[in-house]
Structure 1
Amino acid sequence: MHYNGSDSAAVSASFATHNPVGDMPIVMMIDPKHLFKKIRNNIIKRGFGINSTRLLSHQAGFITWQMWVKAYQWDRAANPSEVSRIHHVLTDEHIWPNNGQKMRNKLVEDVLDKEMLHLFKAYQKAEGRNGDSLNGAIQLLEATSVLIANFTDTRPITSVEDDRLQCNARSLQWFTSWEDAVMSDLQDTANVKRRQLMSQETRFDMKSTILGFESLVCQKQKTHPGTSINAARVNSESVENIFCQQRAISHGANDNSNYKQFMYGMNTIILTADTVNNSRCNTGVAAEPFSFRVQKPINPKK
């Protein structure tokens, strides 16, 4: 809507767009934790199984969830004592999550962070020559572990020259080069190429998260020099709380309310409930009643 339906225009603008009610541009950024879930889910759904419709294929090798399963099982077999395990926090919930467990952020981060990367490298060494089959997964973990470390870092970012932004950009470059290599293969059809990559939505959301966050830092330094941004506190939970309250308090089962219903519901929510999540990963200020005027009538007469 903000970029005339063009993904390339959004990327070119680093996901920043005009703000009609303020000087600071609006940044369209996907919640990093949602991105990590999408990456993990893409890996779980892809593989050699009967129900798998895709097989993630990188230049360095295939990437399947079975590799995570085998690395986990090898760690438990090689190190029976819990304190001696390479990745000691891993449990069956991490490797075989149910629908509810798939929503837990910590379980996602634990299978894509630097500890999992360390486990994969140890498992690869133990496998000897057969360990080369893990090269693709290890390269993916090298990229995701950097993103998780930086987006869960509580240290403030005070400059666009912060090295963490450069590390995020290099991780994005790895995913982009993977996509470019697959798409440039003249021997495969478009459908075959699509099956070798993560979903188009996930690839786009990754650009939104990384480029959008960098754009947010740049814009904030321009409008509020000397201030900082804490990457670990950047999320969409407060907005999600509003949507949940809209459905639960004002509209019940109606999850497709119109403008007028949403406007009245918004004032009800602000007057009766707190829209700011008080958990450790959120911060915010009190909200004011929703007020917005449109030039055209809401219900025009025929």
Structure 2
Amino acid sequence: MEMLGEQVRGWGVFGLTGLVGESLRDQLQPGDPLAWAVTRQAPAAGDRWQWIVGGLPGLADPPPVQAIASLGPLDAFTDWFEASSLAPRRLVVLGSTSRHGKADSPDPGERALAGRLADCEARLAACCEKRGCALTLLRPTLIWGRGRDRNLARWVALARRWRWLPLPRTAHGLRQPVHADDVAAAVLAALRAPEPVAGHFDLPGGETLAYDAMVARCLDAAAPGARLLRVPAPLFRLGLALAGRRGPGPGVVARLDRDLAYDGGPVRAALGLPARPFRPGPEDFPG
């Protein structure tokens, strides 16, 4: 195992070209010691760090660093890290509150996802304990912003197409969407902290609101003139049939009246983060 000595410095990051990674790049400061970043495609030249072109699994061990951050799929990173010989002082990884919210989903694929997330959390914790790494695991809620959202954007696309959008009258389940910039800020806070901040933290957004109110704000911002229609469940199912593949899956539908709200106090106390409300703009839903 490659143990870190005092001479080893810097951060290594996986997922720097994704949604959260894009935000993290914009928030980097000149003094941040980013040493290398793993990417599947070589970006344009000119960045001040080393790009390592490759993917998981199969990536050879990069140079040792003091901290590694993973912003991409937790399962692929967990498999790779277990097989690697690296032992950074701190490991900062993104999971998901889907580990909680999808555990009893009617969709078998979603239940399997929740199981994989829980398994990865346990494996990473065991691996870090064995290697002497401090693990900071962040579970964001629904991530939005930067025009790259793939969840709320589906509702906006349907509203733009039809000029109205049906939702069940019972779609009042609580949600806490978190902006991608705030997720990146949490990762950076964990990397910059004078001492490692070990723990498993849910990472909700700064505002809790009902599902239909969340969708209504999206339509106000990006589908002006479209109407939100609260309808009985049979009419909603008819709307889904008309939507075809553009509509949400059974797991999403089953959770519309279910509260998915988490305590953001621990992560904000540990990392000193602000609490941003949900205020989407037209730039968050391009097209």
TM-score by length of 2: 0.27
Select the structure that is richer in helix. 1
Considering only CA atoms, is the larger Rg found in Structure 1 or Structure 2?
A: 1
